[in-house]
A and B are shown apart, each in its own frame.
Chain A
Amino acid sequence: MRASEDLAELIARVAMQDRTSFYALYQRMSPKLFAICIRILGERSEAEDALQEIFVRIWQRAGTYSADGRSPSGWLSTIARNHAIDRLRQRKPVSKDIEEAFDLADDADDPEQSAHMKSEGRRIDHCMDELEPDCASAVKEAYVSGLSYQELAERYTVPLNTMRTRLRRSLMKLKECLEQ
């Protein structure tokens, strides 16, 4: 838990406009947030622009982070994912290298996450296991790579509406399982 407390403290200091902490936060988190940008945007130069914008936002919004249960790394990743997905969705109809999008990164053990997420992680893993394998991986791929329903439909070679229906059903099932 220590790593995640440190990270929360850094964000708190950044909220007080402490630049040394901002640099430290950048050194520590930019590789991970950059990986998110590359994964979702698929293109390095755009990922660099996105990363720039993300850290500008982190500087500006650090004050809105409060330790109300959200893990600091989750909060930072959300800023990164949201921005990368916004960019992706603003593009003209997708021309992403699908192969690359599915090239799953290895699940490197991230101390900031693994500490915080052990219990939550087990629960969602269990609930994901309850879904049909295709549906579970579609949920993961949508989240991790920022795929649209259209791209998922192509990937699983099913009609768009079928994909949408299946995924929504999976999400409701997931929710029910998590609430048990």
Chain B
Amino acid sequence: MSTPGDINGEEPRDDVIAAEYVLGLLSSQERHAAERRMRQDRAFATLVYDWQVTLETLDSAYGAEMPPASVLGKIEDRLFDSAMKAENKRDFLAGMWNSIALWRGVSVAAVILVAVTFIYQGTPFVGQKPGFVAELSGEDNAVNLVARYNARNGVVTVTPVAAGAANERSLELWLVEGENPPVSLGVLPQSGEGELKVPRDIKADIGAGAYFAVSIEPYGGSQTGQPTGPVIAVGELQSL
């Protein structure tokens, strides 16, 4: 390892090298050398481990940032072959349809379709594919959202109109289309206007007559693949 010498002209001590590795100060080449050494030299590996444990308290400086929904799709593409993926998705979303039926039901545990507004915008994008828009509003007015789907680039733009959700929760957007199981379109950004990139295989399902629904989930989104919190808004997609 070509780490320059220490103050006294000595090579740096192993625990300093281990710390430099954990801090991320080493060059690419030095990092690889340190990793090779960790595999062969148990004492050195222990030094690295100790620094990792010690310094992990600094991880609290990182906040949280919602990744775009497309990332998970790419991970699935790399890890799971498509047949198994489809099967898995069915499992993942199994039982969801029942809860959607519930959402649409009369009894109002949490859900009611308050208003679906048709927004007419003339013909602003002549010659382009149509977009869709849904205004989503909830019974208790916790949140109002306008979701726009741009068929040209497959982007759903969501604008919270009066967001007042508890800050440790996430809003998750679902696509409900015909009798198919609902599909998660991802977790909405915590604040402000947000965009979700619709996975390629879902694009075809988005059209007039489908619904967008938003549920309140634990931070980061539903862990079960089913809505676990109240559905606060449902809206039908209308042609622009």
Contact = CB atoms under 8 A, between A and B. Distances in A.
Contacts of B24: 40, 81, 85, 88-89, 142-143, 146-147
A18 to B, nearest CB: 10
B58 interface: yes
B88 interface: yes
A114 B190 CA distance: 22
A1 B56 CA distance: 16
Contacts of B70: 48
Interface centre among B64, B187, B219 (most CB of A within 10 A): B64
B78 A52 contact: yes
Interface residues on A, range: 35 or more
Contacts of B56: 71, 73-74, 77-78, 113, 117, 120
Contacts of B60: 107-110, 113-114, 117, 121
Interface string A45-86: 000100110011001000000000111011001100100011
Nearest to B23: A142
B169 interface: no
Interface string A24-39: 1011111110111011
B31 A143 contact: no
A90 interface: yes
Interface stretch (B121-129, B133-141, B221-229): B221-229
A75 B142 CA distance: 37
B91 A20 contact: yes
Interface stretch (B11-19, B95-103, B112-120): B11-19
Interface in A148-162: 148-149, 161
Interface residues on B, range: 35 or more
Nearest to B47: A175
Interface string B196-235: 0000000000000000000000011111110000000000
A149 B223 CA distance: 41
A77 B58 CA distance: 11
A101 interface: no
B16 to A, nearest CB: 5
Contact of A30 (B13, B62, B67, B74): B67
B70 to A, nearest CB: 8
A28 B72 CA distance: 13
B88 A19 contact: yes
Contact of A70 (B16, B53, B57): B53
20 contacts: A19-B88, A24-B224, A31-B65, A31-B66, A35-B63, A51-B71, A77-B62, A85-B31, A88-B24, A108-B60, A108-B63, A113-B60, A120-B53, A142-B25, A143-B58, A147-B24, A147-B25, A167-B25, A171-B20, A175-B19
Given A51-B71, A171-B16, 10 more contacts: A19-B91, A30-B71, A77-B59, A77-B62, A88-B24, A113-B57, A124-B57, A142-B23, A165-B6, A175-B19
Interface of A: 19-20, 23-24, 26-32, 34-36, 38-40, 48, 51-52, 55-56, 59, 69-71, 73-74, 77-78, 81, 85-86, 88-90, 104-110, 113-114, 117, 120-121, 124-125, 139-140, 142-144, 146-149, 161, 164-165, 167-169, 171-172, 174-175, 178
